Amino acid sequence: MFSGKLVVSRYAVCMLVFALAFSVRASAVERRLSLKEAIELALQNNHELKSLRNSLQARKQDIGIARSFLMPRINFEERFTRTNNPTSVFSFKLNQERFSQSDFEISSLNDPEPLSDFQTAFSFEQPILAVRSILGLKTARNEYMAGEEEYVRRKEKLVFNVVKSYLMVNTAKGFVEVAEKSVENAKEHLRIAKERFKTGVGLYSDVLRASTALAEAEQRVVSAKKDLNVAKRALGLLLGLYDSVDTKEDKLPEIPLRELGYYVDSSMSRSDIRSLELRYENTKNSIRIAKSGYLPEIAIRGVYQLNDHNTVFGSEGRSWSIMGILRWNLFDGGRREYEMVKAKYKAEEAEESLEGLKKAVHFAVYDAYLGVEEARKNLELAQAALKTAEEGRRLVKKRYENSLSPLVDLLDAQVNLDRARANLVARSNEYIVALARLSFESGTILKDLGIGEVF
């Protein structure tokens, strides 16, 4: 019996130590960051951005691959042959520099003894005129630059998402504060209802209603805190972390608001537009590449050769040769014609896509600009609504205390006040998000937030 109690007590102590350790760890890992710190951490750690960074580096290697087709190709080759073919035996002996007068005998020429030949060859080939390879190098460079522009646009999107997630945490914190104020007000209402009931001027039903309102307010606190923890964890996930991240700043850096024309002009040089422009240029390069199939290719080839009849890498005979090469594809079954037609259609497709993207960006900037104006007006209305709600609750509270209004009116006034407080928190952050979205749509968000091109 004593042993069982001891085991249980040890188990309880272990569980308590584990709980304490976990709570200490949980509180230690949660970081508090400013918006700039959060953005810099996201640019370093975000897995999607790191994946794209590696993809971009892989694409950069295509430039070297394309350039390699313009560089000399140097080969080493070792061959072994054993044969009694008359022509081969004759040439092998010449290459081995072992040819003699007896090799001209008819019997030797017609029916030679089997002969071995080890041939060592060093060869090179240097393109002189290779239009297709030159255009291929230009295409690879354009594709890499297009990838760089895509990377910049992805960074802008990540920064915008960090701003939104950061503000979601601030909004959730604001909702917690609103919910806690609501609990304080509900406790005050319950206190007044109890005092009135004790003095005989109030009803017990008012006490019950006030108690119910307090319980509902406490439930809202629980939900608000849950939403806050989820928002913190979502911000941490965006920063490439397992743990939650809290915000350090209540007020974010101010994003300037300019005229619509500024944003429209800036958006036309947005990174995704520049990327598509480079790819459109590549489709035109594809037409040139297809046309280059009608041009010849010119190259120089050289060979240095060693031959020996019984030793690997032997050098009984030495020889070299230099030659010029002209390759001209006269007929390929119509492949070049099909390639050219395909390239033209691809160029037209890219041109239409580019024009469509520009119009879509123009619309998105216009929509975002109007969204800022809407968010600003909603913020002003929310501020005014909060003032009227606070004054309304104050007046109804006095009337209730003086038995001039029922408790229902006070509870309704409190609901309006809670809604106005929460609405102001939401509208304040929505205005900043609207400004950030306008900067994002115009491609100026990194500049407006003072984020350098370090990453």
Regarding whether 267 and 140 lie in a shared domain, the answer is yes
pTM of the entire predicted model: 0.81
* Range 414-436 average pLDDT: 91
Mean pLDDT, residues 78-87: 93
CATH code for the domain in which residue 208 is found:
1.20.1600.10
Say yes or no: 139 and 184 in one domain: yes
Question: Is residue 21 predicted with pLDDT exceeding 50?
Answer: no
According to DSSP, the residues that pair with 323 across neighbouring strands are 301
| Per-residue pLDDT band at 13 (split at 50, 70, 90) | very low
Q: What is the pLDDT of residues 116-127, one digit of tens each?
A: 999 999 999 999
The answer to whether residue 2 scores a pLDDT higher than 60 is no
pLDDT for position 29:
64
Domain membership of residue 24 (yes or no) is no
Q: Is residue 334 part of a domain?
A: no
Please tell me whether residues 104 and 223 are part of one structural domain: no
For residue 453, name the pLDDT band (cuts at 50, 70, 90): low
Q: How confident is the model at residue 318 (pLDDT cuts 50, 70, 90)?
A: very high
Q: Quick check: 222 pLDDT over 70?
A: yes
Task: Give the pLDDT of residue 413.
Answer: 87
**Residue 319 belongs to a domain:** yes
Residue 18 belongs to a domain? no
Residues 222 and 316 in one domain: no
Task: Report the domain count for the chain.
Answer: 2
Q: Are residues 136 and 189 in the same domain?
A: yes
Considering the domain architecture, whether residues 141 and 248 belong to the same structural domain is answered as yes
Are both 218 and 361 inside the same structural domain? yes
Per-residue confidence (pLDDT) for residue 105, from 0 to 100: 82
Residue 4 lies in a domain: no
In tens, the pLDDT along 327-385 reads 998 888 888 999 999 999 999 999 999 999 999 999 999 999 999 999 999 999 999 99
* One domain for residues 135 and 277: yes
Cα–Cα distance measured from residue 172 to residue 165, given in angstroms and rounded to the nearest whole number = 10
Cα dihedral sign, 288-294-300-301: positive
The candidate with the shortest Cα–Cα distance to 85, out of 56, 112, 55, is 112
Segment among 63-72, 166-175, 224-233, 248-257 with least mean pLDDT:
248-257
Q: Which domain holds residue 324?
A: 72-129+295-328
**124 with 216, same domain?**
no
Based on the fold, state whether residues 109 and 182 are members of the same structural domain.
Answer: no
Confidence class for position 250, pLDDT limits 50, 70, 90? low
When the pLDDT of each residue in the chain is averaged and rounded to a whole number, the result is: 88
206 within 8 A of 197, measured Cβ to Cβ: yes
Residue 26 falls inside a structural domain: no
Residue 345 placed within a domain: no
372 Cβ contact list (under 8 Å, min separation 6): 257, 431, 434, 435, 438
pLDDT in tens, 264-293: 999 999 999 999 999 999 999 999 999 998
My answer on whether 381 and 239 are in the same domain is yes
- pLDDT for the residue 110: 84
Residues 315 and 416 in one domain: no
Q: Look at residue 142 and tell me if it is in a domain.
A: yes
pLDDT at 3 over 50: no
Give me the CATH number covering residue 304.
Answer: 2.20.200
Q: Report residue 294 as tokens.
A: 């009608």
